[in-house]
Amino acid sequence: MQGVLAALKAAESAQEKAKGDAQGANQAQSAVLAALQAFVGPLNRGARVACKDRPDLLTKLGL
């Protein structure tokens, strides 16, 4: 019985650690996505200005 309880406690600890790791990964992912958006945003605006006379190119770029 003691072995089963110890195994359950170990599994619970591992699960809690995995939850914490997942939360940390989500926060890191959000930070990277925000940095990417900060980088790409000005590029998109520049492309819109540069291609204002070529709406077909804007369509190909997804803008």
Q: Which domain holds residue 26?
A: 2-61
pLDDT of residue 63: 86
Q: Determine the pLDDT at residue 61.
A: 87
Which residues touch 51 (CB under 8 Å, ≥6 apart)? 57, 58, 61, 63
Q: Provide the domain count of the chain.
A: 1
Q: pTM for the complete prediction?
A: 0.61
N-term to C-term CA, the chain: 64
Residue-wise pLDDT for 7-49, tens only, equals 999 999 999 999 999 999 999 999 999 999 999 999 999 999 9
CB 51 within 8 A of CB 57: yes
Beta-carbon contacts of residue 60 (< 8 Å; ≥ 6 apart): none
